[in-house]
Amino acid sequence: MEVKVGTCGYSYMNPRDFFGEGWRERYGSILQAYAALFQVCELNSTFYRTPRLSTVERWRREVDKVNEQFEFTVKASQQITHKIRFSRDSISSYNQMREACERLNAKILVFQTPPSFNATEENVDRMRDFFDKVDRGELTFVWEMRGDWHQKPKLIEGVCRMFGLIPCVDPFRNEPVNLKDEIAYFRLHGLGKESMYRYNFSAEELNWLKKKIEELYSTVNMVYLMFNNSECYSNAMQYMKLN
């Protein structure tokens, strides 16, 4: 089992924390500095705005200069999951996302549904209407569900099998759904009281996470651990030192 550790976004990283004041002498951008530290990054700016193809091509060129094995994963546009909510009208937005993924050499597209998108028959039908019609090509689809889905783990399993989705959870908040696919994907948000994102994972929590993954996913080829909390960069580095 290989574990790839990264973060949801790179733009808030301060390269000085890792490379000192002279980081600009080594790297031309924050993204390049990030790619020198990590093997993967989930682009979540794509959730808010679909980038120009020239922009994603530049991102790919930037990381290739320091790490040709670097991998992007991409968070799907909110037009698909939050606004149009998987209707046929969202397919054009998906096609734009797919082309961006192709230019990035990204293999994974992450669909995050909002808390208001609950576990109902109507919403399953909406997902069917979407996933049965899109051309996924070589992409793997990951689904992070919010709302009341976690109260119905059997339904999550059924939906994932029906539409070929990899279930994504925060294992500190919800029990992972282990379908024993070739990959597993986690987004780690934190346990803050005022804001779940304002959080710094302790060494004990990171060790618990490592054991949890080893217990559940020993037969999985690849596990993605994507930190999405305020101390995501330092926590991701801490976790990598455990392996």
CA 141, 145, 150, 155 torsion-angle sign? negative
Q: Give me the residue label for tokens 């546009």.
A: 77
Backbone angles phi, psi at 171, to 5 degrees: -65, -15
CA-to-CA distance for 206 and 106, rounded, in angstroms? 27
Q: What global pTM score does this model have?
A: 0.95
Residues 90-138 pLDDT 10s: 999 999 999 999 999 999 999 999 999 999 999 999 999 999 999 999 9
Confidence (pLDDT) at 169: 93
Q: Which residues contact 24 (CB under 8 A, 6 or more apart)?
A: none
Percent of the chain beyond pLDDT 70? 99
Residue 49: helix, strand or coil by DSSP?
coil
- Report the pLDDT averaged over residues 179-201: 87
- Report the pLDDT averaged over residues 166-186: 88
Nearest residue to 62 via CA among 25, 104, 96, 101: 104
Residues 37-93 pLDDT 10s: 999 999 999 999 999 999 999 999 999 999 999 999 999 999 999 999 998 889 999
CATH number of 2-240: 3.20.20.410
Confidence (pLDDT) at 243: 64
The Cα diameter of the chain in Å comes to 56
Q: State both tokens at 71.
A: 């991998």
Backbone angles phi, psi at 8, to 5 degrees: -90, 90
